[in-house]
Chains A and B, each alone.
Chain A
């Protein structure tokens, strides 16, 4: 039921634009979004069982990861296939910082976050100057490098090798202890707020000057360079920003699960994030997060029969070839077409 309310809200501005007067539009939209935020934060914890909430939590985190992939795709035209190495890598670093370096939870969080951001900056500095296709190959290679590196025999004492690491911390992070994070209903609130913050932040960045420059570079890099714009720094900034979102999602994941497995760094998680982004629609912030939720529930449906990977493969082809705008984009244009009496082109 949460899915339905989210899509309705995304469609709302256009219907209001057609029906209401212009001066009423902005306050009404803000009110609608605020109501949606509050309802979404409280209602699932009251109405849904633990199992559904767990799926929802995973969906929101995957949605945040999808958001980071989608932002880079829609704004910069770059497809990253290594999102999981950031997502799982932050979690793994957090576990190591807690267990090996004996840091307090808060310090461990800051340290792991910092290391990942530095790594993302260095990697980004190397690869964002390449063309989009090479970027895709390089992110894939870098992601595989990290996920192989974690499994190295020499690092086994640190990373736990193929067994992964259990994360138990004493004390609290932002007033929550480890039992709070493991509780599906409480964690839903955390994940819901985090997903909204990430969504709003990336939405705002997309509408800022940085977003405009990124889209212009995506369309024609040479023209932008010729016009005197720096085309390198904006792309690097965007790359680091989306990886911050991925790192936050990774931290939340490990806090919730209490465990980090090497699979969470693997290619399949990166591809799941890509599929979630494509499912929801890469333009905007609602699509990827909704896509994450859809994927999480679909994975539960198909995963039991071992069809998850097949599902992802079909979803990539289907959503690129047939529904390139994803669920949210498709619904939005359908609503728009009805509001404007079908006169406006949907594409």
Chain B
């Protein structure tokens, strides 16, 4: 029972980690929370659905992140760079507007109905681990989530570009004085974050349903995670995503009546106890 609970919460947290760490990365570099991230994730899910119909799930898992990385590059060049002298709140609002537009375009093409994607043959069915039968797809989800999380950590920890990203996130002005090109890093980070959202979208297909409201649900969850994790802290976001997944899953088991409110209660509690979140996020301005 407990093992099942933890496994389920890890599966949910895997998706959330990919999205929330993308948000936290952009925030670290640009001080902007991308309110359009939910729409990018939704685009990933719908594109994944289309590509999976044509060429199968595995192709979708490769093609969609590449397409979305290109979208991220466009987002960087067309929105973040021209607006980098505007206030961060204004840029955040612009991302909100762009997210709404993107969401509406997706609904225009795909209609307002929910879609579902079948897991590929190897990942359907379930395996028995320690006398517990568990769907293979969720194990795959956990592996992907934790794997990308580990890759992200390795990149941030051990590569020069990762070092630069951490430096800019910690203190943008000093980092720039030391000759770090924040624009180039931002291009990398924005495309990476969009690609992660794409992976999350494709992975969400067989796990959750693909529907027109998924962008708002996901962005609200991610915002809660980012606030709980301490705005801009990637480590905090990862821990918060795990916590969020656990609370969400445990809530739906033990408190089914108010399950949809449990994340908000968590948010309020964290705000009361530690207004800055659990990670040591950089305080904005």
Task: Say yes or no for A310: interface residue by CB 8 A criterion.
Answer: yes
- B residues near A, CB below 8 A? 31, 33, 83, 86, 88-90, 92-94, 96-101, 103-105, 216, 220, 223-224, 226-227, 231, 257-258, 260-261, 264, 267-268, 271-272, 275, 283-285
Task: Say yes or no for A9: interface residue by CB 8 A criterion.
Answer: no
- Number of chain A residues whose Cβ lies closer than 8 Å to a Cβ of chain B: 40
Residues of chain A within 8 A of B98, CB atoms compared: 313, 317
Could you say which of B101, B220, B275 contacts A130, with CB atoms under 8 Å apart? Answer: B275
**Minimum distance in angstroms from A222 CB to a CB of chain B:** 9
**Cβ-defined contact, B264 with A153, below 8 A:** no
Task: Say yes or no for A312: interface residue by CB 8 A criterion.
Answer: yes
**Minimum distance in angstroms from A122 CB to a CB of chain B:** 10
Could you say which of A129, A142, A314, A324 contacts B97, with CB atoms under 8 Å apart? Answer: A314
Task: Say yes or no for A134: interface residue by CB 8 A criterion.
Answer: yes
Task: Say yes or no for A47: interface residue by CB 8 A criterion.
Answer: no
Task: Say yes or no for A77: interface residue by CB 8 A criterion.
Answer: yes
Residues of chain A within 8 A of B92, CB atoms compared: 79, 133, 136
Task: Take A134-B284, A148-B261 as given contacts and tell me if A320 and B93 are in contact as well, using a CB distance cutoff of 8 Å.
Answer: yes
Q: Which of chain B's residues has its CB closest to A123's CB?
A: B268
**Minimum distance in angstroms from A19 CB to a CB of chain B:** 35
**Cβ-defined contact, B88 with A133, below 8 A:** yes
A124-151 CB mask vs B (1 if < 8 Å, else 0) is: 0011011111101110111011001101
**Cβ-defined contact, B104 with A310, below 8 A:** yes
Task: Say yes or no for A315: interface residue by CB 8 A criterion.
Answer: yes
Measured in the bound complex, the distance between the Cα atoms of B227 and A126 in whole Å is: 13
Task: Take A136-B92, A144-B264, A316-B96 as given contacts and tell me if A310 and B257 are in contact as well, using a CB distance cutoff of 8 Å.
Answer: no
Could you say which of B89, B103, B105, B283 contacts A79, with CB atoms under 8 Å apart? Answer: B89
Task: Say yes or no for A152: interface residue by CB 8 A criterion.
Answer: yes
Task: Say yes or no for A321: interface residue by CB 8 A criterion.
Answer: yes
Could you say which of A79, A129, A152, A313 contacts B275, with CB atoms under 8 Å apart? Answer: A129
**Cβ-defined contact, B223 with A140, below 8 A:** yes
Task: Say yes or no for A271: interface residue by CB 8 A criterion.
Answer: yes
**Cβ-defined contact, B220 with A144, below 8 A:** yes
A95-126 CB mask vs B (1 if < 8 Å, else 0) is: 00000000000000000000000000000001
Measured in the bound complex, the distance between the Cα atoms of B159 and A31 in whole Å is: 70
Find the residue from A142, A313, A321, A324 having the highest chain B CB count within 10 A.
A313
7 residue pairs, one from A and one from B, having the closest CB atoms: A316-B97, A313-B100, A145-B264, A313-B101, A131-B284, A317-B97, A137-B223
Measured in the bound complex, the distance between the Cα atoms of B98 and A316 in whole Å is: 8
Could you say which of A134, A140, A145 contacts B231, with CB atoms under 8 Å apart? Answer: A134
**Minimum distance in angstroms from B256 CB to a CB of chain A:** 9
Measured in the bound complex, the distance between the Cα atoms of B100 and A317 in whole Å is: 10
Task: Say yes or no for A267: interface residue by CB 8 A criterion.
Answer: yes
Known: A136-B92, A271-B96, A309-B100. 10 other contacts (CB 8 A): A79-B92, A126-B271, A127-B271, A134-B231, A138-B227, A148-B261, A149-B260, A313-B97, A314-B97, A320-B90
Q: Is the interface of A mostly helix, strand, loop or mixed?
A: helix
- A residues near B, CB below 8 A? 77, 79, 126-127, 129-134, 136-138, 140-142, 144-145, 148-149, 151-154, 267, 271, 274, 278, 307, 309-310, 312-317, 320-321, 324
**Cβ-defined contact, B216 with A267, below 8 A:** yes
Measured in the bound complex, the distance between the Cα atoms of B260 and A131 in whole Å is: 26
Task: Take A313-B100, A321-B83 as given contacts and tell me if A136 and B272 are in contact as well, using a CB distance cutoff of 8 Å.
Answer: no
Measured in the bound complex, the distance between the Cα atoms of B224 and A145 in whole Å is: 11
Q: Which of chain A's residues has its CB closest to B105's CB?
A: A310
Find the residue from A144, A271, A278 having the highest chain B CB count within 10 A.
A144
**Minimum distance in angstroms from B81 CB to a CB of chain A:** 13
Residues of chain B within 8 A of A320, CB atoms compared: 86, 90, 93-94, 97
**Cβ-defined contact, A133 with B284, below 8 A:** yes
Task: Take A313-B97, A313-B98 as given contacts and tell me if A141 and B224 are in contact as well, using a CB distance cutoff of 8 Å.
Answer: yes
Q: Which of chain A's residues has its CB closest to B91's CB?
A: A320
Measured in the bound complex, the distance between the Cα atoms of B30 and A341 in whole Å is: 41
Measured in the bound complex, the distance between the Cα atoms of B100 and A143 in whole Å is: 17
Residues of chain A within 8 A of B94, CB atoms compared: 316-317, 320-321
Q: Which of chain B's residues has its CB closest to A274's CB?
A: B93
Could you say which of A152, A307, A309 contacts B257, with CB atoms under 8 Å apart? Answer: A152
Q: Which of chain A's residues has its CB closest to B97's CB?
A: A316
Could you say which of B93, B105, B258, B264 contacts A152, with CB atoms under 8 Å apart? Answer: B258
Measured in the bound complex, the distance between the Cα atoms of B90 and A151 in whole Å is: 32
Measured in the bound complex, the distance between the Cα atoms of B251 and A152 in whole Å is: 14
Q: Can you give 12 A-B contacts (C-beta < 8 A)?
A: A79-B93, A126-B272, A131-B284, A132-B89, A136-B92, A140-B220, A145-B264, A309-B104, A310-B100, A314-B97, A315-B97, A320-B93
